Amino acid sequence: MGGMIGHESDLSISENYWRFAHLEAAGRSPAYQELAEFVAENTTILQFLGRLAPAKRQPNLLFAAARYILGEPANPDSLTKLIDERGVDLAAIMYERRTQTNEAARCAILVPALALIPGPLALIEVGAAAGLTLLVDFYNYDYHGHVLNGLDADAPVLTCQPIGSVPIPGRVPEVGWRVGLDLNPLDPSNQADVEWLSCLIWPGEEGRAERLNAATATARRHPAQICRGDLLDDLAGLAAKVPAGLTLVIYHTAVLAYVDEAKRRAFAALTRSLG
């Protein structure tokens, strides 16, 4: 295996939805576990998905696109009706959009590692979406009582429970330059883009919705440049623009889960060559 999340190339569509239900949604979102199980056994929906390109059959994408149209998370009845009555519209959204969760809380994992690198830093994030995980120095952090204040007091407080000997820094990293790279950049000032990000949040994860609202507000106050491009074809060109005197850091927070093994290996080789 080794395909994108929710679409393992050696599994059928039905098997992928069963896998999603029991390995990803179970314990996190009972509503999406039930919905994925329903899709896995529904011939009409499986036929609808079968007409899409393989990369567009992911559960996250289907469920988010349905929510985008319906205005609320789908259930078995509403999803069936949507595909029956507006299947063309649903497919259009699935082709237009991507699964760009852009979870700001991932920055709490990045900060201890970034703080170990001599700065100031030049950050390039591949798969940056709306740039929410480029703003590592603006957010505030709480590592089980160890508080780090970022550059924006109104930014959300991102909590994290360290396990083991995690080197918690005394301050946020110093960032001198930042840019994101994405095939489909999102704009935190664009209501449709923010709405799409909210549709990617699973039912039962209300804390993520609150965090998204606070993070997108932070991004509107401190907009990061997000360039349209491919993580292999366009990364070197961005790296060449890093100002002198800064330490280049290339990272991702989720995008490699959505590309195949060959592209992951090529990306690793490219980043080593740029370092």
* Average pLDDT over every residue of 149-172: 94
Based on the fold, state whether residues 225 and 116 are members of the same structural domain. Answer: yes
Residues 6 or more apart whose Cβ sits within 8 Å of residue 83: 44, 45, 48, 90
DSSP 144-163: TTEEE--S-TTSPEEEE---
Predicted local confidence at residue 203, as pLDDT: 94
In this predicted structure, the answer to whether residue 249 has a pLDDT above a threshold of 90 is yes
Based on the fold, state whether residues 25 and 92 are members of the same structural domain. Answer: yes
Query: Structural domain tally of the chain?
Result: 2
Based on the fold, state whether residues 149 and 180 are members of the same structural domain. Answer: yes
- Name the pTM for this structure: 0.88
Predicted local confidence at residue 27, as pLDDT: 92
pLDDT band at 255, cuts 50/70/90?
confident
Based on the fold, state whether residues 153 and 250 are members of the same structural domain. Answer: yes
Based on the fold, state whether residues 139 and 91 are members of the same structural domain. Answer: no
User: What is the spatial distance between Cα 25 and Cα 242, in angstroms, rounded to a whole number?
Assistant: 40
> Order of strands across the sheet with 157-160?
146-148, 140-143, 157-160
In this predicted structure, the answer to whether residue 2 has a pLDDT above a threshold of 60 is no
Predicted local confidence at residue 25, as pLDDT: 95
Predicted local confidence at residue 4, as pLDDT: 47
At how many degrees (to 10) do helices 59-70 and 76-96 cross? 100
Place of tokens 């959505």: 258
* 64: its two tokens: 């988010």
In a domain, 8, yes or no: no
* Average pLDDT over every residue of 214-239: 96
Final residue in a domain of this structure, among 96, 121, 141: 96
Based on the fold, state whether residues 201 and 238 are members of the same structural domain. Answer: yes
Based on the fold, state whether residues 108 and 92 are members of the same structural domain. Answer: no
> Which residue range forms the structural domain that includes residue 153?
104-274
Predicted local confidence at residue 260, as pLDDT: 84
Q: What is the mean pLDDT of the chain?
A: 94
In a domain, 2, yes or no: no
Predicted local confidence at residue 8, as pLDDT: 64
In a domain, 144, yes or no: yes
In a domain, 4, yes or no: no
In a domain, 3, yes or no: no
User: What is the spatial distance between Cα 171 and Cα 77, in angstroms, rounded to a whole number?
Assistant: 50
In a domain, 108, yes or no: yes
The percent of residues above 90 in pLDDT, for the chain, comes to 87
Q: What is the pLDDT of residues 178-221, one digit of tens each?
A: 999 999 999 999 999 999 999 999 998 888 999 999 999 999 99
pLDDT band at 7, cuts 50/70/90?
low
* Average pLDDT over every residue of 26-52: 97
In a domain, 188, yes or no: yes
Based on the fold, state whether residues 109 and 66 are members of the same structural domain. Answer: no
In a domain, 7, yes or no: no
Predicted local confidence at residue 101, as pLDDT: 86
Final residue in a domain of this structure, among 76, 96, 116: 96
pLDDT band at 5, cuts 50/70/90?
low
On whether the CB atoms of residues 108 and 143 are closer than 8 A, the answer is yes
Predicted local confidence at residue 269, as pLDDT: 93
Based on the fold, state whether residues 135 and 260 are members of the same structural domain. Answer: yes
Based on the fold, state whether residues 38 and 162 are members of the same structural domain. Answer: no
Final residue in a domain of this structure, among 61, 96, 131: 96
In this predicted structure, the answer to whether residue 9 has a pLDDT above a threshold of 70 is no
